[in-house]
Amino acid sequence: MPSAAIFSSTIIGYRLQAPAKSPLENAMWNGAITDRFNHQLKRKINQLSMARELSRTFFFA
C-alpha cells in the first residue's frame, strides 16, 4: 500500500513537533496521534475494499 509511506511521514512530522512535556502528556500526545493514524488507515482500507467490491460488481457480474 503506497499510502502507508505518506501516513508514516505524517506521524514523524507530528512527533517532531511534539513539545517536550511530562511523560504522561507525551504518552497522551502519542496515543492521540496513533488513534488518528489508525483511523485514517482504517478509512483508507475501507475505501480500497469498497472500490474492489464495486469493480468486481460492475466488471465481473
pTM for the model: 0.41
What residues contact 28, with CB distance under 8 A and at least 6 apart?
A: none
Q: How big is the chain by its Cα radius of gyration, in Å? A: 17
pLDDT for the residue 8: 52
Q: If 0-12 CB within 10 Å is exposed, 13-18 middle and 19+ buried, where does residue 37 land?
A: middle
pLDDT tens over the chain, length 61 residues: 455 554 555 555 555 555 566 777 777 777 877 888 888 888 888 888 888 888 877 776 5
Residue 1 and residue 3: Cα distance in Å, rounded? 6
Could you give the residue ranges of the DSSP H alpha helices within 1-61?
A: 3-17, 23-59
pLDDT for the residue 41: 87
Q: Which amino acid is at 2?
A: P
pLDDT for the residue 9: 52
